Amino acid sequence: MTTANEPVADAAETVAARTTFRRYAAGAAVVSRPGLWKRLGASARVTVVSAPPGSGKTVLLRSWIGQAGLAERAAWVPVERDERDPQRFWLSVLGALRQTSAGSALVRELTAAPDLDGWAITERLLMDLAPLAERLWLMIDDLHELASDQARRQLELLVMRPPEAFRFVLATRHDVRLGLHRLRLEGELTEIRADDLRFSPAEARALFAAAGVELSAPALALLVDRTEGWAAGLRPANQQVSHLRAVLAPPHAGARRPHTESRGGRYFSSRTAWPLRFRSSAITPRNLPVGKSKARTWC
């Protein structure tokens, strides 16, 4: 909380820096996941995306914003690590909402002050949003980092009393106490969990295809099985296979071959944060035939 002897201007500048909204668009390397996108756009008041780190939560939400054209209607709030300041959290929420098309007209500006109370901010926000007519999403990323019990209770108040057109998307590594069981009973809660985020073989193939790499069916099945469809496992694999394509490509005159980690050309970097064991000997350069065609099939 901002203290009485802390300059208000400095606090306001800090909050403003943290509420900068980046408009995410689905890039060429983003895999289309229409099933999950449809669930995110469903009519439920709250959508919870709860899964361990590396499951692809943030990438999914960013790609959905871009695919659905919601850059002007989605307020993105990344929670700071171990956030314990309700005022700072709520000023971040207000700042993000004010950068949306509807929020810019409805949500009044508020600056940090020593006596500013989170409950008062929440009640004022509910009043500001009351005339809301078009769909508006509040997307909170890393909600598990919100360490203030008071801020969580204030968020629960907002979740339980929003205007009809207001929607919440909450991304977290684990469930956070917000009284959402009531919404579940009312059919107002959509839940996307780790199993839902796992890449299917078809999605994994699309991920590799985006990098210009084609895997044979057995190699793809092996990779998906070993990673269990885990996004953080497949993406490093995608990057390393792209590197192998450069290693195995016929060298141009005077060109130097890219450096590999070992003589065998390890498939994954030992620095990759990957809790699942993958035998690097299963797919190595000697098993990757280099064809004459421009589009190569690895393994």
Q: Residue 177 has which token pair?
A: 């106490």
pLDDT number for residue 93: 98
Mean pLDDT of 233-253: 61
pLDDT number for residue 234: 84
Consecutive H or E run containing 106? helix 101-106
- Can you tell me whether residue 26 is helix, strand or coil? coil
Q: Residue 245 has which token pair?
A: 């394509």
d(Cα 156, Cα 168) in Å, to the nearest integer? 11
pTM of the model: 0.74
C-alpha 63, offset from chain centre:
8
User: Which is higher by pLDDT, 244 or 62?
Assistant: 62
pLDDT number for residue 297: 38
Consecutive H or E run containing 166? strand 166-172
Per-range mean pLDDT, top range of 4-8, 220-224, 274-278: 220-224
Mean pLDDT of 116-145: 97
Question: What is the pLDDT confidence band of residue 251, given thresholds at 50, 70 and 90?
Answer: low
The CATH class, in words, for 8-197 is: alpha beta
pLDDT number for residue 241: 64
Q: Across the beta sheet with 189-193, what order do the strands follow? A: 74-78, 136-141, 166-172, 46-50, 189-193
Q: Residue 222 has which token pair?
A: 């092996």
68-107 residues labelled b (16+ CB within 10 A) or e (exposed): bebbebbbbbbbeeebebbbbbbbbbbbbbbbbebbeebb
Domain boundaries, the chain: 8-197, 201-250+260-298
d(Cα 20, Cα 87) in Å, to the nearest integer? 17
pLDDT tens by residue, 200-220: 999 999 988 887 888 889 888
DSSP 8-state symbol, 83: B
Question: What is the pLDDT confidence band of residue 235, given thresholds at 50, 70 and 90?
Answer: confident
d(Cα 1, Cα 8) in Å, to the nearest integer? 11
- Whether residue 46 has pLDDT greater than 90: yes
Name, in order, each residue with C-beta under 8 angstroms of 238's C-beta and a sequence gap of 6 or more. 207, 208, 210, 211, 213
pLDDT number for residue 219: 86
What is the overall mean pLDDT for the chain?
Answer: 78
- Can you tell me whether residue 218 is helix, strand or coil? helix
Consecutive H or E run containing 138? strand 136-141
d(Cα 267, Cα 286) in Å, to the nearest integer? 11
pLDDT tens by residue, 144-203: 999 999 999 999 999 999 999 999 999 999 999 898 999 999 999 999 999 999 999 999
- Whether residue 51 has pLDDT greater than 80: yes
C-alpha 230, offset from chain centre:
14
